[in-house]
Amino acid sequence: MSNTNTYIAERIFTGHKMLQQHAIVVENDMINEIIPANKINSDSEIIDLKDAIIAPAFIDVQLYGAHKRLLSVYPDATSVKAIYDYSKAGGASHCMPTVSTNTYEVFFKCVDAVKDYWKQNGKGILGLHVEGPWISKEKRGAHNADWIFSPAIEQAKELLDYGKDIIKMITVAPEVVSEEIIDLIHSYNIVVSAGHTNATYEQATESFNKITTATHLYNAMSGLQHRAPNMAGAIFDHDTIFCSIVPDGYHVDFAAIRIAKKIMGKRLFAITDAVTETNEGYYKHILEGDKYTSNGILSGSALTMNKCAKNFVEHCNIGVQEALRMCSLYPAHVMRKENELGLIETGRKANMVVLNNDLDVLQTITAE
């Protein structure tokens, strides 16, 4: 039996353009057509969202826990569901639970958690993001130095084999892993992201022959210096490299985001890097205002994806449409999902966020 809903809103942002007084006809979770509001077929159920904005649902490719369930401490399907619920409340239809540098035992349990969530028909999880342990000790941030190492092929294969089809992104320091390791990761259809790295400009540039994404710009990477451009400078200087950023005003000053945006354009995208309060495990995250610390080091944000968009608009001189793309279309591209997510188009699944004029989430519409 067909289930058809027609959503009307003052503004509909497709990901390409803003439409005024239009409607989206959704049939069995698929976008059937986008039409002027005065051409609606009255047979469908009309959902009038009035002066709201309908936009492509957001995508968060890096967050570690939610509702006091850090994935590395509670590696189970319940934690994955908590992460999804947190993301959905912030306007994201899809997200990637993330686990920081840890033991292989913990990584394996996190892989199992995502697998179990999928077996329970859980939705909205793109896969697992493994951040470390093949990173720089000098740029480890809050990561535990004792678990960081440069892998041999067999050590890499052990993790990749266990996480096959579950791990979808790995953050590595390119100066810590060989080209052979990067090729191996790619062979498992995993996105390789350069992060927690002390790479020189030359090392970074060489790695960009194989790597096209980087993790949280400025944070835990060698910074731009006038005589040593380093990783941050290399990201600015190479127009094939996308990079995430944590726009909470603590991880990165808003002025630094404005500067990066002018240089990088569509290559810059948002992550929340969100953690949750926990007193267990190595990473004991403590909420301090609007940010978290672990062992006295800045360790994560309290962001949601809609708050990322708000901060881009309110503090970074980024227009609403571009801020929305930075939270949806661009991360979809990074995860090779641009043909499925990040746009509102006929023939696509109806993954949409309904926002008020302040970019607060009124509703997240997700395809079953």
Q: What residues contact residue 164 under an 8 Å CB cut-off, 6+ apart?
A: 188
Cis peptide before 56 (omega within 30 of 0): no
Closest CA to 257 of 217, 213, 209: 217
The whole-angstrom separation of Cα 28 and Cα 22 is 20
Q: What residues contact residue 271 under an 8 Å CB cut-off, 6+ apart?
A: 60, 61, 62, 63, 216, 244, 245, 246, 308, 331
Determine whether 10 is exposed, middle or buried from the number of CB atoms within 10 Å of its CB (0-12, 13-18, 19+): middle
Closest CA to 284 of 296, 269, 272, 274: 296
Instruction: Report residue 223 as tokens.
Output: 């910074």
Give Cα 278 distance to the centre of its chain: 22
Q: Report helix, strand or coil for 136.
A: coil
Catalytic residues: 273
CA distances from 251 to 80, 291, 312 (A): 25, 9, 14
